[in-house]
Amino acid sequence: MLSQPFYAHSVEGRPPPDWEPLEVHLRDVACLTARFAAEFDAEPWGELAGRWHDLGKYSAAFQSYLEKENGFEAHLEQYKGRVDHATAGAQHADRTVAHWGRLLAYVIAGHHAGLADANGDPTSLAGRLKKEIDPYDAAPPEVLDAGEPLTPPSLTIDHGDSRRAVFQVALFTRMLFSCLVDADFLATEAFMDAARSAERPANDVSLQSMLALLDRHLDNLSANSDPTDVNGRRAEVLAACRSASACSPGLFSLTVPTGGGKTLASLAFALKHATIHGFNRVIYAIPFTTIIDQTASVFRRVLGDLGEGVVLEHHSNVDPDAEHETVCSRLAAENWDAPLVVTTNVQFLESLFAARTSRCRKLHNLVGSVVILDEAQTLPVELLKPCLAVLRELVADYRCSIVLCTATQPALTARDGFPIGLENVREIIPEPQQLSEQMKRVRVRHLGAISDIELVERLGEQPSFLCIVNTKAHASTVYRSLQEQTNENDGLFHLSTLMCGEHRSRVIAEMCDRLKDERPCRVVSTQLIEAGVDVDFPVVYRAMTGLDSIAQAAGRCNREGCRSSGDLFVFEPTDVKLRGYLAQVASTAREVLPDYDDLLDPAAIERYFQLHYWKQRDEHGWDKPDVMGCFPKPLQEFAFNFRTAAERFRMIEGTSQTIFVPYGKAGANLTAQLYDKGPDRWLLRRLQRYTVNVFEYVYAELIRAGDVDVSLDGGYAVLTNPDAYDQKLGLRVDRSGFMESDTLVT
């Protein structure tokens, strides 16, 4: 038996007296976890989870492991190499805490490996609870003591709805897991890298000060705007948002036509609502097919005087690879400890069903937040049930207000034939249909089927146009056809997510300058331009798609209402065969087309959503992969299959990989730093603007071709062949004779 003291973490090259005492680590993690969990009335739960999470480090085997790995003489009879130190606390919680100990066991057992399934292989919770472990009997009695009996989770459980009750308790477990994981990471970072820990922003910027800056900016905009009808409607939208902010927390909808100023108006609602009701932060979630850097840039321009850390832009594409996670890469993952977070719907919703530590770490910081879910109609039909279920519980149990923000409000409220819908959703705009009619400034014309040759001929007659197609491959094809017949000075641009965010931003800025100066501006883009990009073209061409996207395309045409009317031409390409989601929404739009002269008629859009949402119920009730089946009755068994739920809840078809591209001098400098410093938290944040996502098979081909280096710790990949990145088209995934599947929207 080893003598005291016991250590939690060692320091390479330093003797044991410089290591972190285990009792200190447990105390620090317990305090932090309890503080985080107190936000949802679970402080005692957090304290126990933190105090017991590393009980296995009281074993002689673990202490021998630390000594041997650091070059000190160890008790070799105890040395085993890496030691499972998490199972001990899980077993102790399950044995010691009556009834509720199983929830603590999930949390503690998973604080390194991630949340497990209830049963199955040895990595399941049942397998871990049966596992033979090294004794930890050296732990002090005060550490092992459970104290007062735990009270049940503070949840609004309706015992008449047992399925919902199971889901609520499972979400509580994931939230508690988030508290422990973040606390453990922060406490470990404070000891292992005090300098890095000290760099963390204090986040002492108040939402009130942010609101004051935003109000000043909006008032200046109003004072300097021309007295047009469009600007009048925008003022009405802002006034409605400011007025509704005083309403009690809950579910809201904000239905504003494109060009109605809903981005800043919704932020005005969120900041004022948060200050009135004592919320902690605002989360602005944008569809996975859009470019979040545009919205984040707008917010930074408005709030920049308050410092760099006020607006956190978090893509899903810089989370550590599960197979290559290191201490450094885990610490670099964001925990959303910022007053304003701009992220993607994918990152936001997939995290709420995640099992990995890096994805769950941020969740406890959702408590007490205003969540703006922009373009809510993009929620995937096959995952509507789990999506709406988790939004409902964030409002019910975690002090959140949710704003469903959209130009074409989808049918997400409960009604006959749609029992999973949300209830008590309050519309912020008094008369959204009237507002839609008042802001109509575009004529929509259906061209029918046309070939790429015909399309290019039509576009060639226009001095300025925006052409939006459904896939990256099609955008590249049309752009290159136009390039062959266009002078370099004619302002021809290409936009797709094969270009990194910084590249897109520069192109968009140049486009806006040309439009402002009324110079030729000819743009071929994927769907990414339909949200968060304020451009105003006289004519827009849109490949057939869902009516919500067609409405978004209309918002890029005659946006300011300076012309008597703009023209939106909807066409059906004959040279592209759509699959998956894209084929589905285009087919639904075609079904609506014969019955309405105007595709932007609110009645047409309502009919579209009836077909798109209400009539596509699958055998699991808008839950095709059966995510909710991972949380079966009865509640008392706590048989939660967290890992399986995370695998099933995927908002994008297929898996993708992220590549850092050295675009421009700044991108080259940042990728060079990645090699020198590794995945530092602040470096990864800056590198988000220099990323491109590709499908797995494209990623593998780029590696095979020697274009991408994957030798970095943490699973990060860097484009090393400059010829593989085109200054017009972005990442040239077609260089090997193929292009990505047409199932991905952008």
Tell me what the mean pLDDT of segment 472-485 comes to.
Answer: 92
Bridge partners (DSSP) listed for residue 464: 521
pLDDT in tens, 226-238: 888 888 889 999 9
pLDDT-based confidence at residue 328 (cuts at 50, 70, 90): very low
Question: How many CB atoms are closer than 10 A to CB 179?
Answer: 32
Predicted local distance difference test score (pLDDT) of residue 119:
94
Q: What percentage of the chain has pLDDT greater than the value 90?
A: 55
Predicted local distance difference test score (pLDDT) of residue 317:
56
In the predicted model, what is the mean pLDDT of the chain?
87
198 pLDDT more than 50: yes
**Alpha-carbon dihedral sign for residues 252, 257, 258, 263:** negative
173 pLDDT more than 60: yes
682 pLDDT more than 80: no
741 pLDDT more than 60: no
635 pLDDT more than 80: yes
Tell me what the mean pLDDT of segment 159-177 comes to.
Answer: 94
Predicted local distance difference test score (pLDDT) of residue 143:
95
Burial class (CB in 10 A: 0-12, 13-18, 19+), 81: exposed
What residues have CB less than 8 Å from 421, skipping those under 6 apart? 388, 411, 412, 413, 414, 415
pLDDT in tens, 179-193: 999 999 999 988 887
pLDDT in tens, 111-162: 999 999 999 899 999 999 999 999 998 999 999 999 999 999 999 987 788 9
pLDDT-based confidence at residue 660 (cuts at 50, 70, 90): very high
736 pLDDT more than 70: no
Predicted local distance difference test score (pLDDT) of residue 471:
92
What residues have CB less than 8 Å from 601, skipping those under 6 apart? none
Predicted local distance difference test score (pLDDT) of residue 742:
44
2 pLDDT more than 60: no
Where would I find the beta strands (DSSP E) of 364-520? 369-374, 401-406, 425-427, 442-450, 464-468, 492-495
Helix axes 162-192, 384-397, angle to 10 degrees: 70
Distance, CA of 724 to CA of 707 (rounded, Å): 7
Question: What is the Cα gyration radius of the chain?
Answer: 27
Predicted local distance difference test score (pLDDT) of residue 419:
84
Tell me what the mean pLDDT of segment 661-689 comes to.
Answer: 88
Domains and CATH numbers, the chain: 7-192 (1.10.3210), 248-436 (3.40.50.300), 440-614 (3.40.50.300), 656-731 (no CATH)
Distance, CA of 153 to CA of 168 (rounded, Å): 10
Predicted local distance difference test score (pLDDT) of residue 329:
46
Q: Where are the alpha helices (DSSP H) in 649-695?
A: 664-677, 681-687
Predicted local distance difference test score (pLDDT) of residue 377:
80
Residue whose C-alpha is closest to residue 571's, from 557, 597, 590: 590
Higher pLDDT, 318 or 514: 514
Amino acid (1-letter code) at residue 483:
Q
- What does the CA dihedral 597, 601, 606, 607 come to, rounded to 10 degrees? 0
109 pLDDT more than 90: yes
Tell me what the mean pLDDT of segment 235-260 comes to.
Answer: 93
Tell me what the mean pLDDT of segment 334-359 comes to.
Answer: 91
pLDDT-based confidence at residue 40 (cuts at 50, 70, 90): very high
pLDDT in tens, 602-615: 888 888 888 887 66
Q: What is the pTM of this model?
A: 0.86
Tell me what the mean pLDDT of segment 258-265 comes to.
Answer: 86
Distance, CA of 583 to CA of 569 (rounded, Å): 19
CA 390 vs CA 156, 168, 393, 610: distances in Å? 14, 9, 5, 22
Distance, CA of 20 to CA of 187 (rounded, Å): 11
Tell me what the mean pLDDT of segment 195-224 comes to.
Answer: 84
Lowest-confidence pick of 6-15, 34-43, 246-255, 321-330:
321-330
Distance, CA of 566 to CA of 588 (rounded, Å): 25
Distance, CA of 311 to CA of 282 (rounded, Å): 10
Contact 547, 604 (CB under 8 A): yes
Q: Dihedrals φ, ψ of 19, to 5°? A: -80, 170
Tell me what the mean pLDDT of segment 383-395 comes to.
Answer: 96
Higher pLDDT, 419 or 317: 419
pLDDT-based confidence at residue 556 (cuts at 50, 70, 90): confident
420 pLDDT more than 70: yes
Contact 1, 138 (CB under 8 A): yes
Tell me what the mean pLDDT of segment 522-529 comes to.
Answer: 92
Higher pLDDT, 393 or 440: 393
Contact 63, 6 (CB under 8 A): yes
